[in-house]
Amino acid sequence: FKTIQRYVPGRPNLVPMHGALGSASKSFLLKSAKVGHSSRSHTSMLQDTQLQAGVEDVKANRTEKDEFKSTIHVHRLDDLFEHMWHEEKLAFAHIDVEGAELDVLHGAESTIQRDRPLFSVEVWVHKNHTYTRSLIDTVGAYGYRPYAIAEKCGLNLDCRNLLCVPTERHSAFVAHLTSHDMMQWLSASTAESLIKTVPAG
């Protein structure tokens, strides 16, 4: 987070936040205790909190035993755009949260339906085929058509990013990419081809 903050001055369009995204507003207490040359961490959930307008400071302190504690707030994207960013519209989002993409989408449904942005999500196609099918079904239920980007993401060969396009913008989107000879960046077919490789149920 401190590294990101170093690049913010002079870039007013960048607003770093120390927190997490999900389907419900909550708080987590992160603890890290130094043991020898290593550290051990564990997380405990605090009581649910209602997101208020404005940014809540992250509470952090070190104890005499060199234990670091930090309260991490989990926000719904819908709440952020209703309060903190109420004058903004979502144009694009990349959701890469290590298996919690579906949870983030559930907390962003109102914003997605209102602004109809392009967004991408990461998915491990076969490692958790039930989750993959649920995510693709949710994207479809939101009125989006997912494209599999023609490259693996990360070190795992099963990992893919899906670029999700609103159905009402699909024709214009494909025409634009075709005219600029950019379709090679997307799979020949949409992510529906992934569904065929994922077992039902």
* Domain span holding position 163: 84-197
Q: Check whether residue 178 and residue 89 sit in a common domain.
A: yes
pTM higher than the cut 0.85: no
Q: Check whether residue 193 and residue 96 sit in a common domain.
A: yes
Q: Single out the residue in 40, 74, 108 at which a domain terminates.
A: 74
Q: Check whether residue 33 and residue 118 sit in a common domain.
A: no
Structural domain contains residue 118? yes
Alpha carbon distance, N-terminus to C-terminus of the chain: 39
Q: Check whether residue 8 and residue 38 sit in a common domain.
A: yes
Write down the pLDDT at residue 188.
46
Of all residues in the chain, the percent with pLDDT exceeding 90 is 29
Contact yes or no for 104/90 (Cβ under 8 A):
no
Q: Give the separation between CA 23 and CA 101, rounded to whole angstroms.
A: 10
Structural domain contains residue 133? yes
Q: Check whether residue 89 and residue 70 sit in a common domain.
A: no
3-state DSSP assignment of residue 121 = strand
pLDDT tens sequence across 122-139:
988 878 888 888 999 999
Question: 82 pairs with which residues across the strands?
Answer: none
pLDDT at residue 195 above 50?
Answer: yes
Q: Please tell me the total count of domains within the chain.
A: 2
pLDDT tens sequence across 22-67:
998 888 787 765 545 444 444 443 333 333 333 344 344 444 455 6
Q: Check whether residue 70 and residue 109 sit in a common domain.
A: no
Q: Check whether residue 44 and residue 96 sit in a common domain.
A: no
